Every structure is written in C-alpha cells, then in structure tokens.
Amino acid sequence: MRILEALSKNAIIEDLKAKDKKGILEELVSPLVQTTGIDQDSLVKVLIERERLGSTGIGGGVGIPHGKLTGLQSIALGFGLSRSGVDFESMDGKPTHIFFLLLTPENSTGLHLKLLARISRLLKKGPFKERLLQALDRNEIYRAISEEDEDF
C-alpha cells in the first residue's frame, strides 16, 4: 500500500505549534477526527498508551506515533512538521521535526506493520527528509511524499 492511499492533503500540518509530546499528538489527530468518526480524546488516548510501551520517536528527527483502534473502519494517516522541533523522547535524545501518524483498525496487524516499515524506509533517506523540512506548505509536502513513494 502506498502512503498517499491513506494520507489526504487535509491531514498534513505544515507547521505544528505544540511544544510537547501530548500537544503534538493532539494536533496530529485533529484533522483525522472527522474522517475517522472517532473523537479526539479517544484517538489521543490510544497513541499515549502506545507511547507508554516505548517512544515512537525513532531518532534522526523523526517520530512515527501509531496505534490500533477498535471501531476504526480504515487506515488513518497524518503528517506534521515541527519547524522548531519537539522533545518526543526520541531514541537519540534529539528534537523531533517530522511526524507521520498512523492509526489502523484493531485487526489489521499485517497492514499496520507494512505501512510502518514503508514510512521508516522512506524517512531513512536524507535528501527526502531535507525536502520535507524545507517544504513551505502542505502542497509541497504532499508532492514530495508522492514523488518519493512512487520511486519506492
């Protein structure tokens, strides 16, 4: 599955304002409330519970908060960029700037893992990360993801 099959332009936030982990999660799920039909508190709760198992800040300025939800009908994907960076309890202890948020239905473990792996592989590419960081708006972010995801 390609990333843009699950990520809509409306779920891209080009300038996250939050300064802490909980705030980032709240901001990232905000555009997904309407598309998922699940309230913001429930979405954030699932992500915070997952974070308690270990941070999804994978290092290199990247965070991939994710979780599985009962009642979710299809995959929900979001993207956010924190220009100033946030302490996301990343493995390398450095600020996190690039966030992909992944929510999947409870029973879709295989697809959940495949998308996590795909996102992780894309974000290991330095030029792609730099392009995301330099993007001025959601259209540039969407285009960068689209072009990189096609080449993969």
Q: Which of 21, 66, 112, 129 is the catalytic position?
A: 66
Q: Is 19 helix (H, G, I), strand (E, B) or coil?
A: coil
With a cut of 90, say whether residue 31 has pLDDT above it.
Answer: yes
Q: How many CB atoms lie within 10 A of CB 7?
A: 24
66 is catalytic: yes
Query: Would you list the DSSP string of 36-93?
Result: HT--HHHHHHHHHHHHHHS--EEETTEE--EEEETT--S-EEEEEEEEEEE----TTS
Domains and CATH numbers, the chain: 3-151 (3.40.930.10)
Predicted confidence at residue 152, as pLDDT, reads: 60
Residue 151: pLDDT band by 50, 70, 90 thresholds?
low
Tell me which residue has tokens 């997904």. Answer: 32
Q: What is the pLDDT of residues 103-146, one digit of tens each?
A: 999 988 888 899 999 999 999 999 999 999 999 999 999 999 99
In a 3-state reduction of DSSP, which class is residue 11? strand
What pLDDT score does 39 carry?
95
Q: What is the pLDDT of residue 134?
A: 96
Q: Look at residue 140 in the predicted model and tell me its pLDDT.
A: 97
